[in-house]
Structure 1
Amino acid sequence: MFEGEWPEATPAGRYGLVVDPFEPITLVKVVIRSFGYLHGVPRDVAIVPTQLVIDVRELFRDPHMRPEFRELTGRDDVIRANVLDQPGAIEFIRAQAAAIATLVPGMSARQPNPLVVNVAVGCAGGRHRSVVIAEALAVLLHQQGIGSDVRHLDIRRPVVQR
């Protein structure tokens, strides 16, 4: 379902990464931010009106628990596979993408100018699960003709020692 569709990314700020956007087809753009709760809720999530916050800390096994995965991120194929192969992961991501898609018509009906639907995906450190899920959501939204930007706010932070 996700083979060959992962976009490129560029560094943003000290700790962030911006994934190259999928071309928007709708009047409403979705901005998906991944972050780690252990770094605190980012200003981008706390201040910007966010229509959907997805907390995956307790939903899926944390790749960080495997020492060989700690320095990797959700941009690495082995981490993507680790997260997406967990029971219920694909169904969960599809359901969240469907929920996001339902926000788009309502937002575009409210105002004539292009609008933004803000979505935040948080895991513990912001390097593994939230990254994979944020990018998978963008892929599914793109398949539905909904443009999105993905911003990984904590992906380049040092690994959290727990």
Structure 2
Amino acid sequence: MASILITSHGTGHNDDLVFPDGVMVDTTALHNPPDDPAVRATLSQLTGQHPDVAAYVLGTPGAHNLIATALTEVKRRAERGEPVIWVIVHCYGGRHRSVAIAERLATELRQLDHNVCVAHRHIDRPLLPSRNPA
């Protein structure tokens, strides 16, 4: 059984993770609470671990396909016998999208009886200035 290490981070912090053989999950196309005036005040100060933020991010068209694609790749690597599989999930700030997707991936993989560890590298950092102000 493979050990799966999932790390979320924000590329805007300029200390990117480098795992040349990791499963990379780019969540930047998903809805981001700080960029949406309709939810900015209520969701921006929360993180992707909060159910409301997770529901918002996972409600983005394409979010479940992104998760399914990552799951397929992790399963393929596990079947190939890789003992450790790194999954790197990123967005811009590392507090909302990447966290929500990393948590959902961890839940799905644990249901398949994988040993999963999750780390959120930038979850406690302050919000970054929006790159896409609405």
TM-score per shorter chain, which class? 0.7 to 0.9
1:106 aligns to what? Answer: 80
**2:25·2:66 contact (CA, 8 Å) conserved in 1?**
no
CA apart distance, 1:38: 0.2
2:99 aligns to what? Answer: 131
1:60 aligns to what? Answer: 30
Kindly report the root-mean-square deviation, in angstroms, between the aligned alpha carbons of the 2 structures. Answer: 1.5
Q: Distance in 2 between matches of 1:37 and 1:80?
A: 20
2:66 aligns to what? Answer: 92
- SS class of match (2:3): strand
1:20 aligns to what? Answer: none
Query: Normalised by the size of structure 2, how large is the TM-score?
Result: 0.85
Q: Distance in 2 between matches of 1:100 and 1:55?
A: 15
- SS class of match (2:103): helix
Give the counterpart letter for 1:128 in structure 2. H
Aligned length: 126
Give the counterpart letter for 2:69 in structure 1. A
Identity %: 32
- SS class of match (1:53): strand
Give the counterpart letter for 1:116 in structure 2. V
Q: Does 1:32 align with 2:3?
A: no
- SS class of match (2:80): helix
- The equivalences for 1:107-122 within 5 A come to 107-108=81-82, 115-122=83-90
Give the counterpart letter for 2:125 in structure 1. R
Q: Distance in 1 between matches of 2:116 and 2:20?
A: 16
**1:37·1:122 contact (CA, 8 Å) conserved in 2?**
yes
**1:50·1:120 contact (CA, 8 Å) conserved in 2?**
no
- SS class of match (1:30): strand
Runs of 5+ in structure 1 lacking a partner? 1-25, 109-114
Runs of 5+ in structure 2 lacking a partner? none
Query: Normalised by the size of structure 1, how large is the TM-score?
Result: 0.72
**2:23·2:70 contact (CA, 8 Å) conserved in 1?**
no
